Structure 1
Amino acid sequence: MTSIKHVGVVGAGQMGRGITEVCARAGLRVTLCDVTEDRARAGLAGVADSLLKAEKRSTLTSQDRAHALAGISATGDLSRLAGADLVIEAAVEDEQAKTALFRRLDGILTDPAAVLASNTSSIPIARLGAATARPEAVVGLHFFNPVPVMPLVEVIPSLHTSEATRTRVRDFADRILGKKSIVAQDRAGFVVNSLLIPYLLAAVRMVGSGTATAEDIDTGMTAGCAHPMGPLHLADLIGLDTVAAIGEALYAEYREPLYAAPPLLRRMVESGLLGRKSGQGFFDYQSV
């Protein structure tokens, strides 16, 4: 099994930055790519800030921080990923955009054994693999936010993903990154979001119907069920647009009402109230 030494990460948003950080901290060479050089460099600056905070918390030495940063490069040019052993796509949760990206990456990677992975929360991997000439090397690699903290990674092989690819990415997640991987079937939502999203949407419906306030719903689940975070704070952390998109993908797959985004969630997304990343969601983060 060929060792993974060079990882490409496409998407310099919150998830892409987190994936870049954990790969760099594991001693890997990482190329962080976004649609423009400026966005990629902004993503790299975010990684540098996170590493500095880890050093201040004494969870990382200054030497390890410097070594991790030295292993990261930022670019707006996808062709810079040509020599990567593994490319992890962490772009917008849109099937057409991801499919087009996989088609481009397939023509760029020079190693026929290079793995193309998606951090998608809900889109079936088989559809992404079908856009390439290497469906056996396409797999889902779903990290959780915040990536440097959350230990879980879902590995999602499609019907075409080879056993060699599946074994290689589990080794990457478990041994190289020190994460805990589980394997899920290639069904929208996989394991975690199939359980989580109906729960989050139910909390949104409770707010919309006036059953209780967002504060009281969250307190009910933290103080009454020992959850570390309430569902509405969690939805804000994930991003309300992402929650809605995952719900839409799940509803398209299963046609069950519990997966449909409630009107309140749709209105909030349309109004730009996306949670933490916009400064306002079910709670106010302007001063955080």
Structure 2
Amino acid sequence: MKNIAVIGSGTMGNGIAHAFAQHGYHVTLIDIAAEALKKALATIEKNLSRQVEKGAITEATRAEALTRITTLTDMAAGVKNADLVVEAATENIELKLKIFQNLDAAAPAHTILATNTSSISITRIASATQRPEKVIGMHFMNPVPVMKLVEVIRGYSTSDETTRAVMELSGKLEKTPVEVNDYPGFVANRILMPMINEAIASLYEGVAGVEEIDTVMRLGMAHPMGPLQLADFIGLDVCLSILRVLHDGFGNPRYAPCPLLVNMVQAGHKGVKSGQGFYTYTPGSKELKPSARFQKA
């Protein structure tokens, strides 16, 4: 594989494009919004420069990576020469089904179609195509250039050949691929989201405050950040969406989203991306303090 197309230029999409370009692949980053692509390129350049400052890559690697990224707003044109497409659009099943239907029509017959979904069924996504054996999950972790794990999810019809190719490719990105099967939430979110939901419930029920809950999990369980801060980082809307997939998929009340999470998302408090979540986020500030709603009187 030499030519990679990435659908969606948000946080995950630009991170995936960054990782492939850094490791020598030609990347076409595709988004319907030209302004979003401009912003994504600026983010990639900034993150590559940060890697140079830290000594993780050389200046030559940074410069070469940037020359390997092309941006387009036309998906059909962007995937016509792709060996692999990685879809990183919004976590919405109807949107993903439409994208994969269009990808199947536009991409060459040999092209593997991967999705970065964190919870939606690969088998269902593959059903929108005429090549289900070439559809697979490639769930990167955020921030993509830093995190080593790629959860490789086989759909019901995903072939051994496709799985082997994606596992090998992930290794060439200096990632550690882990093969899992297609069940709601896969492994990462089937375990992570109930923990985050329980942390939110503990806050909702008054067991402890935001900082106290996060401190217990950081210091007591050696987590790099507490579950409430992590939820803000992931996006509370994304957490809610994944929990709903788990709840629908398993039919088990233990996966039902906490009412506090539902209310926060409905109020537009989505975490880092909105500036308000369990904590308040001010551009340029590294100070972390609970949002006003959760501060003690």
TM-score by length of 1: 0.96
- TM-aligned CA deviation for residue 106 of structure 1: 0.6
Q: Is structure 2 residue 102 aligned with structure 1 residue 104? A: yes
Show the counterpart of 2:79. Answer: 81
Letter in 2 for 1:46: T
Q: Is structure 2 residue 163 aligned with structure 1 residue 203? A: no
Show the counterpart of 1:270. Answer: 266
- TM-aligned CA deviation for residue 231 of structure 1: 0.5
In the alignment, is the contact (CA less than 8 A) between 1:140 and 1:156 conserved in 2?
Answer: yes
> Helix, strand or coil: the match of 2:280?
coil
- Give distance in 1, aligned partners of 2:45 and 2:83: 24
Aligned positions, number? 283
Q: Is structure 2 residue 62 aligned with structure 1 residue 65? A: yes
* Coordinate RMSD, CA, aligned: 0.9
Q: 1:17-166, aligned counterparts within 5 Å?
A: 17-79=14-76, 80-110=78-108, 112-166=109-163
- TM-aligned CA deviation for residue 41 of structure 1: 2.0
- Give distance in 1, aligned partners of 2:18 and 2:201: 36
Equivalent of 2:235 in 230, 239, 249: 239
Equivalent of 2:174 in 162, 170, 178: 178
Letter in 2 for 1:171: E
Point out 4+ residue stretches in structure 1 off by more than 6 angstroms.
none
In terms of mean alpha carbon deviation, does 94-103 or 258-267 score higher?
Answer: 258-267
- TM-aligned CA deviation for residue 263 of structure 1: 1.0
> Helix, strand or coil: the match of 2:181?
coil
- Give distance in 1, aligned partners of 2:238 and 2:268: 12
> Helix, strand or coil: the match of 2:211?
helix
- Give distance in 2, aligned partners of 1:254 and 1:246: 12
- TM-aligned CA deviation for residue 227 of structure 1: 1.3
Deviations 1:90-137, CA, capped at 9 Å, x for gaps = 000010000000000111102x11100000011110111110011010
- Give distance in 2, aligned partners of 1:258 and 1:49: 41
Show the counterpart of 1:229. Answer: 225
In terms of mean alpha carbon deviation, does 23-32 or 221-230 score higher?
Answer: 221-230
Once the two structures are aligned, what percentage of the paired residues are identical?
A: 43
> Helix, strand or coil: the match of 2:40?
helix
In the alignment, is the contact (CA less than 8 A) between 1:89 and 1:119 conserved in 2?
Answer: yes
- Give distance in 2, aligned partners of 1:222 and 1:127: 37
Deviations 1:16-53, CA, capped at 9 Å, x for gaps = 11111110111000011111222122212111111111
Letter in 1 for 2:79: L
- Give distance in 2, aligned partners of 1:260 and 1:47: 36
- Give distance in 1, aligned partners of 2:252 and 2:225: 26
> Helix, strand or coil: the match of 1:140?
strand
Structure 1's unaligned 5+ residue stretches are: none
Show the counterpart of 1:253. Answer: 249
In terms of mean alpha carbon deviation, does 47-56 or 136-145 score higher?
Answer: 47-56
- Give distance in 2, aligned partners of 1:170 and 1:238: 25
Structure 2's unaligned 5+ residue stretches are: 287-297
In the alignment, is the contact (CA less than 8 A) between 1:36 and 1:75 conserved in 2?
Answer: no
> Helix, strand or coil: the match of 1:277?
coil
TM-score by length of 2: 0.93
In the alignment, is the contact (CA less than 8 A) between 1:7 and 1:29 conserved in 2?
Answer: yes
- Give distance in 1, aligned partners of 2:31 and 2:256: 31
- TM-aligned CA deviation for residue 271 of structure 1: 1.4
Q: Is structure 2 residue 221 aligned with structure 1 residue 216? A: no
In the alignment, is the contact (CA less than 8 A) between 1:41 and 1:75 conserved in 2?
Answer: no
